[in-house]
Amino acid sequence: METKTKQSIEQFKGQTRLPKFAIPTSYDLYLKLDLTACTFSGTVQVNLNIIEHTKFLVLNVLELDVHQVWFTNSNHQTYKPCDVVVLNGEDEILVLGFDEVLGVGDGVLGIEFSGALNPHLKGLYKCTYVDGGVKKNMAVTQFEAVDARRCFPCWDEPALKATFKIRIDVPSELTALSNMPVADEKLNENIKTVYFEESPVMSTYLVGVVVGVFDHIEETTADGIKVRVYCPVGKSDKGKFALNLSVKALDIFSRYFSTPYPLPKLDMVAVPEFSGGAMENYGLITYRENILLYDDLLSSANMKQFLTIVVSHEVAHHWFGNLVTMEWWSHLWLNEGFATWISYMATDIMFPEWKIWTQFLRQTADGLRMDAMEQSHPIEVEVHHARSIEEIFDDISYKKGSAVIRMLQGYLGDDTFQKSLSLYIKRYAGKNATTEDLWCVVSEESGLQINSMMDDWTKKNGYPVICVKSKDDILEFEQSQFLSSGLCGDGLWIVPITVSIGSYIKCKTFLLEKKSQKLDISELVHSPHQNKSTFNEKNEEECDEHFWVKVNIEQSGFYRVKYEDKLAARLRKAIESNCLSATDKFGVLDDTYALCVACEQPLSSLLSLMDVYRKELDFIVLSKLINVCYKVVEISGDAVPDLVNDLKQFFINLLLFSSEKSGWESIPGESHLNALLRGEVFLALVTFGHDKTNKEAVQRFQALLNDRNTPLLSADTRKAAYIAVLLNTSTTNRNGFESLLKLYREADTVQEKEPLLRCIASCPDPNIVLEALNFMLSEEVRDQDILYVLAGLRSEGREVAWRWLKVCSSWSTSSL
């Protein structure tokens, strides 16, 4: 290569985004798969709009061999590049240099290429399934965020939308799926070519291909959309629940956004090996098998709920993400935050008895916990290199993002918020948008300028703690940044504050826009009741005897609250008298625990508050109580180990009432929430060492070994039994560990296997833990499931796990 050409190519290195010499408008993609050799080859012809004279075309490529390249302009003149340079490393681009200038106008770029079906669950990758006891290969794509370039040369940026016409050569016995319906199939001996209809415009990361063997079930919606669920052979009945959900979700979102589903079909595919939980490829959603498939007997209530939320989330992306796409990865929180929030809305519509919005508080609580760390980051992150999005975008963006959206919904009101989102979807359908574009639409529809307020929550990391004091009929509010380390932060936010005074019919709402502000509540304190309370009259009368203040009603805001001592004491009394809603009981406990961790309140204050929850039966409140119990034991194990056993006994006493009310066995017709509660309560009692519960759990486990369909151990309580068995397992008495391995090896469904993997390393004996870790790396456990095993490690097993990891790392390094 000549020096001048080298210098010209150097200009494209280290750039955040591709140069805009040319814009793709459509792709004609052909792929030929060899599943035996685990390779593929193909041709892509890209219709381009050259928007400025150039001697270069620059697009994305990664781990592909480029063979032939040509460009044909609108006058049918064909140009061959003089330089074809692949820049790997951080650039991941293909630079095509031409001797002649390519003029402004339309043209077609053609590229022949080949590559390997990689085993790393990204790009176009290989995974395996078992057919008649024989392992066979199949192919799946996972392109988000920037791995379409591993499959075919492309302009791999979300704003560069184009249409796609795809055809694939596959073995004739396999099923080939893509974003659009099959237009035609042609058979040539044992190879068939599958032609798919041309797609509407979409981003490259949403292109999808799956090739394998499946059974499927289908329904057609009232709007004529064909919906199919593709399952492993012989297990199509396990896809019925997800199929029913997706049909309902399509109707819910079409009506909510006042925009029809944009494609003629929706396929949902259970994939045996998958890096994430699910992926919203346009019209071709891929899932881990354990997330899409549901078994009435073997799937827990928690798994049923999780499946519902995930399916709703992925279907919602077809509006928020696919139809309207973020302009750049910095705005990815828009996709994920909104899909998370609206998945709860859809779930609530489908299953109102689940009270799913109360469980949304766990999303908020996780977001608050993570965003209180000094290493937190804004949910709208500056992305300077697309590959870094995989490291930057994390649960803060999902959970804080969805909680901030929920806060905005509460501030604007449901109707205004829905109208705003409907207008946003219509205005940007088929296009790309930024966070600012959304705020402008919301401001236009609501008549409120929300940009400054929302920038506080999306472009800053962290959030405030609101300190509340009372003097006569005046409440004083002061905000400061909350950090779990206890250090002082310097952030300042525009905070939507909601306050109830002794009753849910006595409320105030205002914006806290300064460091501190006062609120006159005299009219609420002294005015008679004028409206009907959401609580019964007896509770209302009891609450009237006590002046209590609850800030952040129903936990709708993304902030913490610290009350002065007298207000905190009155709030405890209100909880004890059952004056607060479940969501507010949750919030008071969550805030108190966080303040305790930050050393802003003593442990004794937290324990005193926890004690008033001992007669609690609401699932979400008990779930938070159990979560706080776990955390206190974990922290105390390092800080004050001599207190751990006393704390465990205190926590056991807190939970005995709810365990007695729940019982081990399911009751016909009982609520979904009771099933959830039973699993969590008995698991906690087992974990804290309650002798009676442990013995009962072991007996019920023995019943399961004798009869896999025993009613004595439901899917909801199996984890408690597995943990009880492992807590009684040691090197000298390893029967429990061997029994769990036997159950895993005999299990025929992912619904049975996953809970076993999550428990298998939860033994206090380091030698058993070591065996579990070695089992984790055996061929019996798929690579994607390794994290399940690691998540089950107890504190007693961490040291041996760390030594094991160092040995494995050393061995891995020396074998390179």
Q: Which of 314, 696, 752, 771 is catalytic?
A: 314
- Kindly report the backbone phi and psi dihedral angles of residue 90, in degrees, each rounded to the nearest multiple of 5, phi listed first: -80, -15
Closest CA to 579 of 539, 532, 615, 624: 539
Strands 215-220 and 163-171: unpaired
> What's the alpha-carbon Rg for the chain, to the nearest Å?
29
**H or E element, residue 658:** helix 644-662
- Kindly report the backbone phi and psi dihedral angles of residue 565, in degrees, each rounded to the nearest multiple of 5, phi listed first: -55, -45
Q: How far apart are CA 508 and CA 529, in angstroms?
A: 15
Q: How far apart are CA 803 and CA 699, in angstroms?
A: 35
Q: How far apart are CA 586 and CA 564, in angstroms?
A: 19
Q: Alpha carbon 519 to chain centroid distance?
A: 39
Q: Which residue has the tokens 């929850």?
A: 613
Strands 549-551 and 54-60: unpaired
Q: How far apart are CA 378 and CA 486, in angstroms?
A: 20
Question: What b-and-e string marks burial along 569-604, b requiring 16 or more CB atoms within 10 Å of the CB?
Answer: ebbbbbbebbbbbbbbbbbbbbbbbbbbbbebbebe
Structure tokens at 536: 């019964």
Structure tokens at 664: 């081990």
Structure tokens at 331: 């705005």
Q: Which residue has the tokens 């040291």?
A: 799
User: Is residue 809 classed exposed, middle or buried when 0-12, 13-18 and 19+ CB atoms within 10 A define those classes?
Assistant: exposed
Within 8 A by CB and 6+ apart from 642, the residues are none
Q: How far apart are CA 386 and CA 144, in angstroms?
A: 11
Question: What b-and-e string marks burial along 174-213, b requiring 16 or more CB atoms within 10 Å of the CB?
Answer: bbbbbbbeeeeeeeeeeebbbbbbebbbbbbbbbbbbbbe
Structure tokens at 99: 């001797």
Closest CA to 225 of 251, 259, 194: 251
CA 309 to each of CA 313, 323, 589, 673: distance values in angstroms, whole numbers, following the listed order = 6, 20, 25, 15
Active site residue 314: yes
Secondary structure tally for the chain: helices H, strands E: 27, 29
Q: How far apart are CA 718 and CA 440, in angstroms?
A: 50
**H or E element, residue 697:** helix 691-706
- Whether 81 and 67 have beta carbons less than 8 Å apart is answered as no
Strands 123-131 and 78-79: unpaired
Q: Which residue has the tokens 């798929």?
A: 782
**Does residue 145 have a cis bond before it (omega within 30 degrees)?**
yes
Which one-letter amino acid corresponds to residue 611? Answer: D
Q: How far apart are CA 68 and CA 91, in angstroms?
A: 21
- Whether 109 and 34 have beta carbons less than 8 Å apart is answered as no
Residues designated catalytic? 314
